[in-house]
Amino acid sequence: MNLPEDPIPKSIKDIAVPASVGFFFNTKYYVVDIYFVGMISTEMVAALSLTFPMFFIVIAIGIGIDQGTTALIANAS
């Protein structure tokens, strides 16, 4: 990826696709987690449901910082 020379839509796609795949697998992990915790009790499922938004925000921030850092480092070299 050459940020200064590539068209903007291509650059956005090159950054967004890996992030989207990462979100997909994080969500899939959480669904499987809910399934197995659901076998224990409904209170545990409620606890996981309450923590999911915070978990997703932390993952989103981490992936965003990772992608931004990668783009800046690639542009600097």
pLDDT tens for residues 8-19? 888 888 888 988
Q: Comparing C-alpha atoms, which of 45, 43, 18 is closest to residue 30?
A: 45
Enter the pTM of the model: 0.52
- Helices and strands in the chain: count of H runs, count of E runs: 2, 0
Sign, Cα dihedral of 24, 30, 33, 37: negative
In this predicted structure, the answer to whether residue 1 has a pLDDT above a threshold of 80 is no
Q: What is the pLDDT of residues 19-65, one digit of tens each?
A: 889 889 878 988 898 899 999 998 988 888 888 888 889 988 998 89
**Per-domain boundaries in the chain:** 8-70
pLDDT at res. 65: 92
Residue 71's pLDDT is what? 86
